[in-house]
Amino acid sequence: MKFYHYSENNIPFDSSKIHKIENISYSATNKPKHGTGFWGSPCDSRNEWGNFCVKNHLYIEGLLYRMEFEVDFKTSNILEIKGPNDLNKIYNFLLPRHPTYNNIFLDWETIASKYDAFFLEIKPLEEISLSDSYINYWKFFPNWDVDSILVFNPKVIKNVTSPVYMACYNNLTSITIDTEYDLKLKKFKAHLGLA
């Protein structure tokens, strides 16, 4: 499968620069420590990171360069979560609940020790109804806005292209006003008790 990786810098891919996954004691996003692993979003997904950022005027400065890479799902050991029915795959990786926060936390270090990568397919928020089975899904993955791969083992990353300057994003700037998406996200999180 082909993925895009975005960056604000024109730095060629270097697998030795991928930092080992680390847990953090509290994360509202249920993601590992920022700057660990190698992130990507499927090239053929309508729910892709670059499109999401532009549509919602977020992190535009991080879209200046894009490279493409591949991960072979047949030869790599990937923890794939594609919907609510796959949640049983992660129950063994739950950390004890934080005494202050009531969020669910994944043990990313253990996941990374057993898998080459983590792939999450997420239904766009605008397609979720409050009666949808995705409500429980969102409790596990709050703030995961797009289909994503998080690579732990750089050896599974293949056919990386050189960073390409994305001139179309150069004149866009991030804005801080609440978009329609932000307002719906706040309402949804309040309903889940995550706000």
DSSP secondary structure letters along 130-166: TTSTHHHHHHHSTT--S-EEEES-GGGEESPPPPEE-
| Cα distance between residue 55 and residue 53, in whole Å | 6
Q: What's the domain count of the chain?
A: 1
Q: For residues 42 and 149, is the Cβ–Cβ distance under 8 A?
A: yes
Per-residue pLDDT tens digits of the chain, which is 195 residues long:
999 999 988 888 999 989 999 988 666 678 898 889 999 999 998 888 988 888 888 887 888 899 999 999 999 999 999 887 888 898 888 877 666 666 678 899 999 999 999 999 886 655 666 656 666 666 777 778 899 999 999 999 999 999 888 766 555 543 334 455 555 556 655 655 555
Residue range(s) defining the domain that contains residue 156: 2-192
Q: Which structure tokens are listed for 100?
A: 């202050």
DSSP secondary structure letters along 79-143: EEE-SGGGGGGTGGGBPPPPSS-----B-HHHHHHH-SEEEE----GGG--TTSTHHHHHHHSTT
Q: Please state the pTM of the whole predicted model.
A: 0.81
Q: Which structure tokens are listed for 124?
A: 């766009």
